Amino acid sequence: MKKRDLGISRLWLYKVNRRFYGKLANIIAGGFVLTVCLVGLLADVIASEKPLACKIEGKVFILPALFPSPELSDHDNQSILEEIAAHGGWTLAPPVPFGPNQIKVWGTIDWLSPPDDLHWLGTDSSGRDVLARIVHGARSAMLVGLSSMLICTLLGVLLGALTAYFGGFWDRIANAGIETLTAFPTLFLILGIQGLLGISSIWQLVVIIGATRWTDVARVTRAEVLRTVNEEYVDAARALGLNHVRILRRHVLPAVLGPVLVSATFGIAGAILIESTLSFLGYGAPPPTASWGGLLADAFESQSSFWLVLYPGIVLSLTVLAINVAGEGLSDAVDVI
């Protein structure tokens, strides 16, 4: 039985993947989202004030940004180049040789510098490299989007499935809770909670978004479970004496998987927009954490610096668009199966 269920699951995934990747738009959107995730994951390697590797005074340092060394604590890529020019050695700089919070470059501060050969996308009002902050902003965006949706999915599936399966009093309570939370505009609810708690960390924002947006997943889960529990194969499982846990795990929850994945995919885009909006308003990622919304806030204060709004705005728009396109493609693939 287990082998048969495993075979059915693999067949379902194969069909969904085949239909999803059968469209060029889905491939492009999925590739873009994957690229943004990888950029966020490898942000310390792509954009850092420390080299990927270097040799100074006969000693080799590997990934000092990830494994700090006291000898390089006061050095950045530029000062290391000066050290090598004076005493010899070698260095391997990252693609963007500036940190997200690095202010001084070659001992000077370039405030609101337009794009040039040194800073490809310019600098902000503090002299920080915009490209480096966009790269590290991808980490904040995907961390909030993926982590908050993981919390939403776990809460939504657990509460939605259990209350709909057993019904009765707890189902009415859960449904009332869903309707109550849905009545509040999500952005203003999260903004109010952030204002009451104060900004402490990006993980606080993740928990708040996850704890307030689980209703979307719960509503989808509840509807699918209510439809599935009346199927003949579920009645047959009860007649065979299977306990509730096995019925939920084998027969009910697999039917919920597709719609939940689609809902969670769209939820990631919504969470990224919420994080960017809150950061723009000053209630999102705490400074000096890089955030796309924080870059747009800098652009609002320096309206003549077009690069502060153009490049972060393009990256944010393309990321949300790609996630929504991928969500639409996943929805079509799941609905047909």
Rounded to whole angstroms, how far apart are CA atoms 201 and 289?
Answer: 9
Which residues partner with 47 through β-bridges? Answer: 96
Question: Tens digit of pLDDT for each residue in 271-290?
Answer: 999 999 999 988 888 888 99
- Co-location of 26 and 64 in the same domain: no
pLDDT at 3: 45
CA atoms within 13 A on the CB side of 267: 29
Same domain, residue pair 240 and 166: yes
Q: Where are the alpha helices (DSSP H) in the chain?
A: 2-20, 24-41, 43-46, 77-87, 130-166, 168-183, 186-197, 202-212, 214-228, 232-239, 244-247, 253-281, 292-301, 307-336
Which SS3 state, helix, strand or coil, does residue 123 take? strand
Beta bridge partners of 157: none
Say if residue 274 is in the same domain as residue 304. Answer: yes
Task: Enumerate residues 6+ apart whose C-beta is below 8 A from 94.
Answer: 45, 46, 47, 48, 51, 52, 65, 77
Between β-strands 59-62 and 53-56, what pairing exists: parallel, antiparallel or unpaired?
Answer: antiparallel
Which tens digit of pLDDT belongs to each residue from 50-85? 999 999 888 999 999 889 888 888 889 999 999 898
* Residue 111, domain member (yes or no): no
- Residue 278 · residue 287 · CB < 8 Å: no
Q: What is the domain extent for residue 60?
A: 49-93
Q: Tally the domains of the chain.
A: 2
| 34, 62: one domain | no
Q: Does one domain contain both 33 and 86?
A: no
Provide the token pair at 290.
């890089």
Domain harbouring 155, CATH code? 1.10.3720.10
Whether 26 maps to a domain, the answer reads: yes
Cβ contact 100:132 at 8 Å: yes
- Positive or negative: CA dihedral 297, 303, 304, 306: positive
Q: Find the angle CA(160)-CA(162)-CA(165) to the nearest 5 degrees.
A: 100
Give the β-pairing of 104-105 and 53-56: unpaired
Same domain, 33 and 173: yes
Instruction: List pLDDT tens digits, range 158-177.
Output: 888 888 888 778 788 888 88
Report the alpha-carbon distance of residue 84 to residue 96 in Å, rounded.
19
35 and 73, same domain (yes or no)? no
Backbone phi and psi for residue 308, each to the nearest 5 degrees, phi listed first: -75, -25
Using the predicted structure, report yes or no on whether residue 2 has a pLDDT greater than 50.
no
Judgement on whether residues 183 and 167 belong to the same structural domain of the protein: yes
Q: Are residues 223 and 78 in the same domain?
A: no
The verdict on 38 and 62 lying in the same domain is no
Tokens of 151: 């919390």
Quickly list DSSP for 46-111: HB-SS-SEEEETTEEEE-TTTS--GGGTT--HHHHHHHHHHH-EEEE--SB-S-TT--EETTEE-T
**2-20 vs 307-336: helix crossing angle, rounded to 10:** 130
Which tens digits make up the pLDDT trace of 37-49?
Answer: 999 999 999 999 9
Query: Is 118 part of a structural domain of the chain?
Result: no
- pLDDT tens per residue, range 101-136: 999 888 888 888 999 999 999 999 889 999 999 999
On whether both 309 and 223 belong to a single domain, the answer is: yes
- 185-235 pLDDT tens trace: 888 889 888 888 887 789 999 999 998 888 889 988 888 888 888 777 777
How many angstroms separate the CA atoms of 118 and 223, rounded? Answer: 55
